[in-house]
């Protein structure tokens, strides 16, 4: 399907600079732009490509000031990245949705199934499961007893949802994720080994949550492990038992959150962040990649980096010093030799 610059600009509320009849039928990265495609420029580091790209249409910010002629038709909007994302979302929504229940799926007679479902091959739907309207379950998904899944939620191939878990509406759970596996609970005993502590709780995932591939969300020992509305988790993330993650918090890959930690809303964690258990993180906290968090962060909106973490600006200043420590050490040694010579 072809779209003109004029039609795209009307949808985005933007302004066309160039040929309003310019037409596209695909998208491309600006550095790999091809004729007939749409691209965008949001990061100034990529500005050089806008003067040489072959993309037919490029979405740019309203304040973009080219230093030379651009070969593409431009559409100026308030936020180019957000506008491009909204177009991709529109395209995704326009794709045909799978429907129907595979004859190769195993579905308990006690399961309650909504309308317009898709259930793929070799999926297992256990006893007393409840699936709302429009749920899509791709092949080889396992859903345990008494699981509830809300309207329009999508489970990609190989997802495992343990018994009692509750998943809200319009969530996306990617391939290989495990929801509701046992928390890591073991008690040492007199025989100098460990006795397993039964994990009797569950997982609650609220609406509009997205969970990346091979991420694991452990069930609570008692009560619930909770992901609040709008949480976005990358691939390969570990959320331990009894953790609570606040609304609209996002985490990048390989982050690990230990048991009973409470994370506020609107937080942002970089990749490979690690948090110990039984601490709390205030609303709006940003944690840089590979940081280790050994205690609570109580100030809202804090930005930290390091292990243990420091204020982000302070850490950057410290880094300038400690990356030069070998040179400073050599200078100190030289001064000591000179002082020693003067003393003698």
Catalytic sites, residue numbers:
241
Convert 49-64 into a string of H (helix), E (strand) and C (coil): HHCCCCCCEEEEECCC
Largest Cα–Cα separation, the chain: 95
Convert 273-322 into a string of H (helix), E (strand) and C (coil): CEECCCCEECCCCEECCCCEECCCECCCCCEEEECCEEEHHHHHHHHHHH
Question: What's 147's DSSP letter?
Answer: -
**173, 158 Cβ separation under 8 angstroms:** no
The secondary element (H helix, E strand) that includes residue 204 is strand 202-205
Residue 59 CA to residue 38 CA, distance in Å, equals 8
Report which of 167, 140, 169, 168 is spatially closest to residue 156, judged by C-alpha positions.
140
15 token code pair: 């302004």
Residue 147 CA to residue 161 CA, distance in Å, equals 8
Report which of 303, 258, 256, 300 is spatially closest to residue 279, judged by C-alpha positions.
258
Report which of 142, 147, 213, 203 is spatially closest to residue 177, judged by C-alpha positions.
213
Specify the 3-state DSSP secondary structure of 332. Answer: helix
Helices and strands in the chain, H and E counts: 5, 40
């Amino acid at each position: 399907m072809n779209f003109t610059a004029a039609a795209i600009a009307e949808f985005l509320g933007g302004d066309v600079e160039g040929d309003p009849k310019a037409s596209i039928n695909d998208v491309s990265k600006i550095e790999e732009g091809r004729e007939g495609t749409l691209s965008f420029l949001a990061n100034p580091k990529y500005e050089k490509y806008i003067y040489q790209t072959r993309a037919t249409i490029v979405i740019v910010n309203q304040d973009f000031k080219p230093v030379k002629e651009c070969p593409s038709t431009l559409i100026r909007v308030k936020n180019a990245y957000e506008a491009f994302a909204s177009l991709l979302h529109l395209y995704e929504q326009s794709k045909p949705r799978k429907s129907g229940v595979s004859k190769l799926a195993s579905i308990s007679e006690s399961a309650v199934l909504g309308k317009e479902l898709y259930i793929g091959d070799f999926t297992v739907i256990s006893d007393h499961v409840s699936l709302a309207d429009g749920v899509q379950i791709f092949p080889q998904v396992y859903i345990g007893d008494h699981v509830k899944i809300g309207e329009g939620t999508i489970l990609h191939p190989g997802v495992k949802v343990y018994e009692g878990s509750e998943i809200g509406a319009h969530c996306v759970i990617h391939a290989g994720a495990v929801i509701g596996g046992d928390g890591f609970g073991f008690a040492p005993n007199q025989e100098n080994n460990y006795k397993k502590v039964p994990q009797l709780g569950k997982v609650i995932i609220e609406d509009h949550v997205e969970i990346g591939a091979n991420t694991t969300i452990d069930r609570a020992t008692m009560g619930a492990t909770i992901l609040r509305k709008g949480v976005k988790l990358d691939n390969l993330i570990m959320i331990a038992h009894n953790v609570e993650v606040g609304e609209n918090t996002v985490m990048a890959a390989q982050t690990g959150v230990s048991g009973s930690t409470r994370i506020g809303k609107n937080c942002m964690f970089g990749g490979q962040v690690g948090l110990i258990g039984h601490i709390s993180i205030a609303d709006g906290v940003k944690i840089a990649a590979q940081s280790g968090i050994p205690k609570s962060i109580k100030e809202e909106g804090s930005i930290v980096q390091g292990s243990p973490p420091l204020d982000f600006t302070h850490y950057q200043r410290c880094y300038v010093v400690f990356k030069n420590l070998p040179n400073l050490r050599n200078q100190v040694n030289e001064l000591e030799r000179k002082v020693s010579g003067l003393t003698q």
